[in-house]
Amino acid sequence: MVSKKTTILFIPRGLHKVRKISFSRGALFSLLFFIFITLLSVIWFATDYIKIKTKMPELQYLKKENKFQKTHIIALSKKINQINQAMAKLQKFEHKLRVMTNLEPSKQHEELLAVGGSNESTLASGYQLEEVHKGLIKQMHKSLEDLERKTAIASISQSQLNDFLKEQKSILACTPSIRPTDGWLSSGFGYRISPFTNRREFHKGIDIATSIGTPVIAPADGLVADAYNNGNFGKMIVINHGYNLKTRYGHLSKFRVKKRQHVKRGQIIGEVGNTGRCTGPHLHYEVLLDGVPVNPLRFIQN
């Protein structure tokens, strides 16, 4: 069988020798196929290169955007930690106030002091964005949930503390703590010899001797329960301070307040006199706790 071959002649100019190349048709088809595949490969690589080239600006933008997001995520995490630390300081301060005021902390408040923040090790700038997303963002969500819980509990806790301190402030405002008038102590609280009967008797208050007309002031906030003529104590004022505390002022020469009138600490309520049974101008001053007379000097702070 005669094989089919293809011959290619190379005819040069002038007298140079003619050259020829002979090869089979199978080899020719193989060569053409190789050339075709090579051209397709070149076209494919060229197209892919052009696509990559056109996407380079977008890739650069995404790279910058990722870096920007990473920086802000880290900054946000640090801010959350700072808020956590500030919250912890406020909680410690509140705890001190509760200890000072003998107000027991609630169970929720104790749990609140044990809550932590984000892990600082995940804030390192060397972390890849994927690692930040996996670790840091998860911790940030947990920290935000903790902060929300802290805020809710702290709001209740501080509301309780605020109510307690308001009550304490009210108690202090209503506790008789200043001298009701100027003068000198002429008779103390307790047993004494009566200047009228010359017998031993219990004196339920203190006597402050001073001149007639000297102003008498309320030693604490309260409500005037009565302003009347008592007989032995002459013109008398009774103030109800609340919290089972009352004060009484006897031998007055003049009333400066009326029954059911609210008074403030330091407000003038009357004037010293010598009405009723007395040996001279003075103020008889009593403090009653649960209706029982107590020594007024225990309350006077000035």
With contact defined as beta carbons under 8 Å apart, do 222 and 239 qualify? yes
pLDDT surpassing 80 at residue 26: no
The per-residue pLDDT for 169 is: 84
Residue 12: phi and psi, rounded to 5, are -85, 165
Please report, as a single letter, which amino acid is at residue 152: A
pLDDT by residue (tens digit) across 196-223?
Answer: 778 889 999 999 999 999 999 999 999 9
Arithmetic mean of pLDDT over the chain? 81
Regarding pTM above 0.75, the answer is no
Confidence band of 3 (pLDDT split at 50, 70, 90) = low
Q: Is residue 114 scored above 50 in pLDDT?
A: no
What's phi and psi for 103, nearest 5 deg?
Answer: -100, 115
pLDDT at residue 1, as a whole number? 46
Residue (of 149, 146, 189) closest to 284 by Cα position: 189
Residue carrying structure tokens 């990559």? 52
Closest CA to 187 of 297, 52, 31: 297
Tokens 């009967």 sit on residue = 197
Give the pLDDT mean for 3-10. Answer: 68
Position with higher pLDDT, 1 vs 237: 237
User: Is the CB of residue 270 less than 8 Å from the CB of residue 148?
Assistant: no
Indicate the domain borders of the chain.
Answer: 68-173, 184-298
Q: Tell me what the mean pLDDT of segment 70-82 comes to.
A: 79
Q: Which residue has the higher pLDDT, 183 or 102?
A: 183
Instruction: Give the orientation angle of helix 137-173 with respect to helix 25-100, to 10 degrees.
Output: 10
CB 269 within 8 A of CB 237: yes
| Alpha helices by DSSP H, 101-188 | 107-112, 129-131, 137-173
Mean per-residue pLDDT, 68-85: 79
Write out the two tokens for 293. 């007379």
Give the per-residue pLDDT at 105. Answer: 63
> How many residues make up the chain in this entry?
302
Tell me the three state secondary structure of residue 294. strand
CATH class for the domain made up of 184-298? mainly beta
Collapsing DSSP to helix, strand or coil, 4 comes out as: coil
Least confident of 102-111, 117-126, 250-259: 117-126
Residues in Cβ contact with 106 at an 8 Å cutoff, skipping those fewer than 6 apart: 157, 160
More confident residue, 111 or 144: 144
Beta-ladder partners of 283: 208
